[in-house]
Amino acid sequence: MRYAQLVMGPAGSGKSTYCSTIVKHCEALRRSVRVVNLDPAAEYFDYPVMADIRELISVDDVMEDDSLRFGPNGGLVFCMEYFIQNFDWLEEELGEGEDDYFLFDCPGQIELYTHIPVMRQLVDTLQHWNFRVCAVFLIDSQFMVDPSKFLSGVLSALSAMVTLEVPHINVMTKMDLLSKKAKKEIERYLDPDIRGILADGREGYFDQKFQKLTKALGTVVDDFSLVQFLPLDRSDEDSIDIVLNTIDSAIQYGEDLEPREVPELPDDDDDDGRDSGFPGEES
């Protein structure tokens, strides 16, 4: 069995920073984690990448092809569609192993998780290769500080969750960049009471024209407890540990590993062969 995190989220949500944080944290735990870059528009990494989609195809290469005439978004979609036609490249890069653990740093364009089946095809292929997959959807905590943006982020996360149909963990990133006041305010969004948040619509957060639609969407999310968030503070080892352990639990990482041998207990008999019993108890 092998394990994978699909690290997703909007542009600027901190996907590469998240991968760097998890890699360094696992190094401290003497645990092996490898990163695969699936963003053909990526530019820089501060951690080792074992496989890089840009070796197969990149957005720059596509945009420079005069016969295609794609812009950045069209070029990225073209790259990802080319990628799914060449999964043999990924299979070769991943190699064969047992108990391998990978982070897949994915592109940020939301259309890849909504009306284009690219990421779902990736999930299905990884599962066929005996991977347990968890979707890790990142949202910038600085983006989620008012109700309207929060609801937008919730619906984006929900869209990815419904499309991929795998264990799904939502993470609120960049908590270490918030002020003390903002950290206190954002606590209400981690395990949200959608009805309470929607009540803020009276203060002008939501367009009055769409009040009924907004209320209906929020009520569905609230009634079925569909979306919750884990806070990630890079400066807090406990915060990183909670996020990693939650994901590990979702994909049952470690349950198939061989248990450590239990050392034999010392003989409870006395030298004369009699049982010593409990303290204060006669033999």
Query: How many domains does the structure of the chain reveal?
Result: 2
Is the same domain home to 52 and 22? Answer: yes
134 forms bridges with which residues in the sheet? Answer: 5
Q: Does any domain span residue 261? A: no
Please indicate, yes or no, whether residues 23 and 115 belong to a single structural domain of this protein. yes
CA distances (Å), origin 236, targets 12, 45, 141, 230: 21, 22, 16, 13
Do 112 and 210 share a domain, yes or no?
A: no
Please give the model's pTM, rounded to 2 decimal places: 0.83
pLDDT at residue 206, as a whole number: 61
What is the extent of the structural domain holding 153?
Answer: 2-180+228-250
**For residue 190, what is the enclosing H or E element?**
helix 180-190
Q: Would you say residue 272 lies in a domain?
A: no
Backbone φ, ψ for residue 253 (5° rounding): -70, 135
pLDDT tens-place values along the chain, 283 residues long: 999 999 999 888 999 999 999 999 999 999 999 999 999 999 888 888 999 999 999 999 899 887 888 888 889 999 999 999 999 999 999 998 788 999 999 998 888 887 789 999 999 999 999 999 999 999 999 877 777 788 888 888 888 998 999 999 999 999 999 888 888 888 888 877 777 777 765 555 566 677 778 778 878 887 767 788 999 999 999 999 999 999 999 999 977 655 444 445 555 555 554 544 444 444 4
Residue 20: inside a domain: yes
276 domain residue, yes or no: no
In whole angstroms, give the CA distance from residue 122 to residue 85: 11
**What is the model's pLDDT at position 258?**
54
- Are 137 and 169 members of one domain? yes
Closest-CA residue to 176 (of 166, 162, 186): 186
Q: C-alpha 94: how far from its chain's center? A: 19
Residue 16: CATH number of its domain: 3.40.50.300
48 found inside a domain: yes
Note whether 168 and 208 are same-domain residues. Answer: no
- 114 with 200, same domain: the answer is no
